[in-house]
Structure 1
Amino acid sequence: MLLTKLLLEKPTILLLDEPTNYLDVEHIQWLQNYLQNYENAFILISHDMEFLNSVVNVIYHIEQAVLTRYTGDYHQFQAAYEVKKAQAAKAYERQQQEIERMEDFIQRNKARVATRGMANSRAKRLEKMEILEKPKEYIKPTFGFKEGRTPSRFIVEAFGLQLGYDEPLTRPVDFQIERNKKIAIRGVNGLGKTTLLKTILGLLKPVSGELVKGEFLQVGYFAQEDTPSNSETALDYIWNEYPAMTNAEVRAALARCGLTNEHITSQMRVLSGGENAKVRLCKLMQNKYNVLVLDEPTNHLDVYAKEELSRALRDFKGTIVLVSHEPEFYQGWVTDIWNIEDWTTKIV
């Protein structure tokens, strides 16, 4: 609604902060077409590679508090960035080797009268040299989900199930989720994707029908949004859930998810959306599950974190029920794709 209101005002410049978060595939396509035909300038922040690649022709990349301009789409930026990063690493390595040679020459020759002048000259050159800063590597996360015991053949079975609150969102449907299936749920917003997940989890009662759960289920849930207490740090957020872990173990677990010491000791409310998501994923990874229920887990995550999460879910041997608006995230490892639009009572 806010985005529609903004666009109807016909601004001369658009400032968009993660506009595709919470949008379904159809509305992302609509926004993509709108921006491709937009006559004025826009600046957007996004971690959606495919979306960026389709609408931008200039990229400003922020790294280590330095803003660098690249021309071209996202794929062209990636190629140019990798070249620049490799060049910076080689330049740093060459300079370090030169410094080492100069320091060795100075040490060997400063005491000899015949070569002291050359040693002093090298020392002055070394003092005046502009030392290159060592390129800092992006802290890439490592995700992995612990697998629980083998559950019964069917995780859930639905008979005449209608989803909704006061009014039904869907017609009566029958379905089964079989052990080790990996299911992606798609469809436009407002038709019941999150409602389906909450009904499967038992957080919502169906309007009608029956939902039968299997045996020996160990279910891990990643909600679309979470609201930890304002004063709770990332460290406390994990520790309160797993008090048996030591301080060092909690810190190591968060660090594996790509979080720095500053992030670990910061309150959850001041972390960015991506940092917050990494903390919540970290909590999910500390227990054993045979079923993962994930509601838009890629919202706010950067490109590297998305790729790593996709790999971790591909490697997970249990059952996955996933809501996602990014087909490129789950392509290649889901076994089934359900379209909630096939169940709806609404006009789509």
Structure 2
Amino acid sequence: MGLTDIGLDRDVTELSGGQRTKVLLTKLLLEKPTILLLDEPTNYLDVEHIQWLQNYLQNYENAFILISHDMEFLNSVVNVIYHIEQAVLTRYTGDYHQFQAAYEVKKAQAAKAYERQQQEIERMEDFIQRNKARVATRGMANSRAKRLEKMEILEKPKEYIKPTFGFKEGRTPSRFIVEAFGLQLGYDEPLTRPVDFQIERNKKIAIRGVNGLGKTTLLKTILGLLKPVSGELVKGEFLQVGYFAQEDSPSNSETALDYIWNEYPAMTNAEVRAALARCGLTNEHITSQMRVLSGGENAKVRLCKLMQNKYNVLVLDEPTNHLDVYAKEELSRALRDFKGTIVLVSHEPEFYQGWVTDIWNIEDWTTKIV
């Protein structure tokens, strides 16, 4: 799992998200369970170890139940899909692509059945209304009314609430967002060799590499949240920087509503609710504490906060973790349309391919043997 270099006596809370996931997976697999329960195991994992886990599960002798929004990973390891929608669990045989096809057929059939029944109800109600007063036809009208009362009314198929994302663009910054000269990243000890780099205005950069090499450290150094071990980092002028952190505080007791409102007190209650609703959140989510929301709901609230201000630079640390397929697709579209600079850490090439201008592999900077 590539954990020997971290120091086996290190406190787990000091590790990166990917390293912590690897420790948990190692512990789990050493227990040799008869059934594995895996809740979004690819979150925070680098590409190489997602592939490792994929191979492991493909050859796993026993059963496993897997929750994942990584469709490529899911499609490679499962042969049964259980789909939860509107509190109903439905079983589909096959991989994810086969599930998608079967689900679309089922959804179309349900919509047609509902429409047919509504038309039938409308015809029966019209017949009853026209004939209940006439003596000659009152019996038929009453008969139709009884049939209508006994009819099992189909519910209108509910559409999944898809989010809508969009980032407001700030003023034009200087040509260079940041310039680094002999920069070494790290904490007590350097994680990288001295490096020089520039981030130009309107560039969209994806940063990849195995866990624990300093991707988050790089972002925090660019933001000024961490000092470099050595070297110089020069920031440009007129920067308006928006930051999406990899994780929210686990003790955040603010409601989603207050989380936005405290940041933007000039907004009305209705405006805050409307902004959160556009991100695919219901009233129940909006009035819940951030710490009790699911990972995906929490991420949508934090993205919503970013979308209320104008920025010319977005710094995003694994924003797709926990997001469902629809939210990922919408976020990818919104970032593609954003006219400013983006610095993104992601382990999902399919998320950013097609709109980033550069891909930096931090393995090229590391002092460690990868």
TM-score bracket for this pair, using the shorter chain length: over 0.9
1:229 Cα offset (Å): 5.1
Summarize deviations over 1:178-234 as a string: whole Å, max 9, x none. Answer: 100000000000000000000000000000011110110000000000117543100
Summarize deviations over 1:306-345 as a string: whole Å, max 9, x none. Answer: 0000000000000000000111100110010000000000
- Write the distance in 2 (CA, Å) between the matches of 1:178 and 1:228: 35
Summarize deviations over 1:248-302 as a string: whole Å, max 9, x none. Answer: 0000000000000111111111111100000000000000000000000000101
- Write the distance in 1 (CA, Å) between the matches of 2:29 and 2:243: 35
1:2 Cα offset (Å): 1.2
- Write the distance in 1 (CA, Å) between the matches of 2:92 and 2:328: 23
- Write the distance in 2 (CA, Å) between the matches of 1:334 and 1:105: 62
Q: CA RMSD in A?
A: 0.8
Bigger Cα displacement from structure 2, 314-323 vs 225-234: 225-234
Q: Per the alignment, in what secondary structure is the counterpart of residue 89 of structure 1?
A: helix
Unaligned ranges ≥5, structure 2: 1-22
Note closer, same or farther for the CA distance 1:228–1:15 as it changes in structure 2 (3 Å cut): closer
Q: Per the alignment, in what secondary structure is the counterpart of residue 114 of structure 1?
A: coil
- Write the distance in 2 (CA, Å) between the matches of 1:332 and 1:178: 19
- Write the distance in 2 (CA, Å) between the matches of 1:28 and 1:318: 31
- Write the distance in 2 (CA, Å) between the matches of 1:81 and 1:217: 46
- Write the distance in 2 (CA, Å) between the matches of 1:323 and 1:269: 24
1:9 Cα offset (Å): 2.1
Corresponding residue for residue 73 of structure 1:
95
1:76 Cα offset (Å): 1.1
Matched, 1:45 2:45: no
Summarize deviations over 1:120-168 as a string: whole Å, max 9, x none. Answer: 1111111111100111110000000000000011100111100000000
Q: 1:189 aligns with which of 211, 216, 219?
A: 211
- Write the distance in 1 (CA, Å) between the matches of 2:304 and 2:42: 24
Runs (4+) off by over 4 Å: none
1:63 Cα offset (Å): 0.5
Q: What TM-score do the two structures reach when normalised by structure 1?
A: 0.99
Summarize deviations over 1:78-129 as a string: whole Å, max 9, x none. Answer: 1111111111111101101100000000000010011111111111111111
- Write the distance in 2 (CA, Å) between the matches of 1:270 and 1:191: 31
- Write the distance in 2 (CA, Å) between the matches of 1:139 and 1:278: 13
Bigger Cα displacement from structure 2, 328-337 vs 7-16: 7-16
- Write the distance in 1 (CA, Å) between the matches of 2:205 and 2:249: 27
Corresponding residue for residue 302 of structure 2:
280
Matched, 1:314 2:314: no
Bigger Cα displacement from structure 2, 79-88 vs 271-280: 79-88
Q: Per the alignment, in what secondary structure is the counterpart of residue 301 of structure 2?
A: helix
Q: Per the alignment, in what secondary structure is the counterpart of residue 176 of structure 1?
A: strand
Q: 1:215 aligns with which of 237, 259, 282?
A: 237
Bigger Cα displacement from structure 2, 80-89 vs 235-244: 80-89
- Write the distance in 2 (CA, Å) between the matches of 1:12 and 1:229: 34
Q: Per the alignment, in what secondary structure is the counterpart of residue 254 of structure 1?
A: helix
Q: Per the alignment, in what secondary structure is the counterpart of residue 251 of structure 1?
A: helix
Summarize deviations over 1:61-80 as a string: whole Å, max 9, x none. Answer: 00111000011111111111
Q: Per the alignment, in what secondary structure is the counterpart of residue 205 of structure 1?
A: coil
1:172 Cα offset (Å): 0.4
Bigger Cα displacement from structure 2, 75-84 vs 331-340: 75-84
The correspondence of residues 245-324 of structure 1 with structure 2, limited to 5 A, is 245-324=267-346
Q: Per the alignment, in what secondary structure is the counterpart of residue 250 of structure 2?
A: coil
The alignment covers a number of residue pairs equal to 348
Q: Per the alignment, in what secondary structure is the counterpart of residue 154 of structure 2?
A: coil
- Write the distance in 1 (CA, Å) between the matches of 2:216 and 2:96: 31
- Write the distance in 1 (CA, Å) between the matches of 2:205 and 2:122: 56
- Write the distance in 2 (CA, Å) between the matches of 1:337 and 1:199: 18
Q: 2:116 aligns with which of 88, 94, 97?
A: 94
Note closer, same or farther for the CA distance 1:276–1:90 as it changes in structure 2 (3 Å cut): same
Note closer, same or farther for the CA distance 1:229–1:236 as it changes in structure 2 (3 Å cut): farther
Q: What TM-score do the two structures reach when normalised by structure 2?
A: 0.93
Q: Per the alignment, in what secondary structure is the counterpart of residue 84 of structure 2?
A: strand
| Identical amino acids, percent of aligned pairs | 99
Q: Per the alignment, in what secondary structure is the counterpart of residue 32 of structure 1?
A: helix
Bigger Cα displacement from structure 2, 228-237 vs 38-47: 228-237
Note closer, same or farther for the CA distance 1:84–1:287 as it changes in structure 2 (3 Å cut): same
